[in-house]
Amino acid sequence: MSIEVRIPTILRPFTKDQKAVAAVGTSLTALISDLDAQYPGIGDRLLENGALRRFINIYINDEDVRFLGGLDAQIKDGDSVTILPAVAGG
Amino acid sequence: MSLTISRAFVDAIVEQSRAEYPDECCGVILGPVGSGKAERLKPMVNAAHSPTFYEFDPKDLLALYREVDDRDEEIVVIYHSHTETEAYPSRTDIAYAGEPGAHYVLVSSRKEIAPAIEFRSYRIIDGVVTEEEVSITD
């Protein structure tokens, strides 16, 4: 099972400039772990102390994973995952 | 490096910052992919509703990126207002700047300089802030 993951500009240096990559995993934790195995370092940009970073948004299809159980969110064949940095500041 | 922006967009952003005062206002200007041209103004909701913070709502953010993709556009400008401080990126602005290709525009409507408005533009890349010229076209 392979999931399409859309990568934001700021993380493309990790993915050799690819806008979308394929990863496997039935939960968000597993998916991020696979992404980090393929593109070392990207996991650190998504997680902090084992939790999702506050200013990184991850969506499964159209839903923010925060409403799907966060890192425990389930992913199934045919889903697509989108990573976007928050647009925020002070 | 410089930002070219129409007078109408500058006026609209200043107007938005006044309308949403004392909260910070925010939005983007979009343009055709690869053009770098600031052609389509899109005000966004500040989901933080705060005088010291702004954040696009995560749902609006996804919709924005989908729309930009569908229309073969890119985010040329990301703007927000500072209501009490100068138009210079704050520490949090720098920490969360996630679009290395965008011009970050800051508008300040703080009382000390009223009725004048500060309108300045920056690149923020890997924590480094570089101010750039703003040229306003009629």
Tens of each residue's pLDDT in chain A, 90 residues: 799 999 999 999 999 999 999 999 999 999 999 999 999 999 999 999 999 999 999 999 999 999 999 999 999 999 999 999 999 999
ipTM of the complex: 0.93
- Name the nearest CA neighbour of B50 among B18, B82, B27: B82
Closest approach of B99 to chain A, Cα-based (Å): 6
Which domains does chain B possess?
2-137 (3.40.140.10)
Contact B62 A57 (CB under 8 A): yes
Compute the distance between CA of residue A23 and CA of residue B52 in angstroms, rounded to an integer: 38
How far is the CA of B109 from the CAs of B16, B73, B90, B115, in angstroms? Answer: 11, 30, 15, 8
Report residues of chain B scoring pLDDT below 50: none
- CATH code: domain A3-85 is 3.10.20.30
Instruction: Give pTM, 2 decimals.
Output: 0.93
Query: Among B126, B46, B129, which Cα is nearest to B89's?
Result: B129
Element (H, E) at A42: helix A42-46
User: Among all residues of chain A, which has the CA nearest to that of B56?
Assistant: A87
pLDDT at B115: 84
* Amino acid B116: pLDDT: 85
CB–CB contact B58 A86 (8 Å): yes
CB contact under 8 A, A89 and B99: no
Q: How far does A1 lie from chain B, in Å, by closest CA?
A: 24
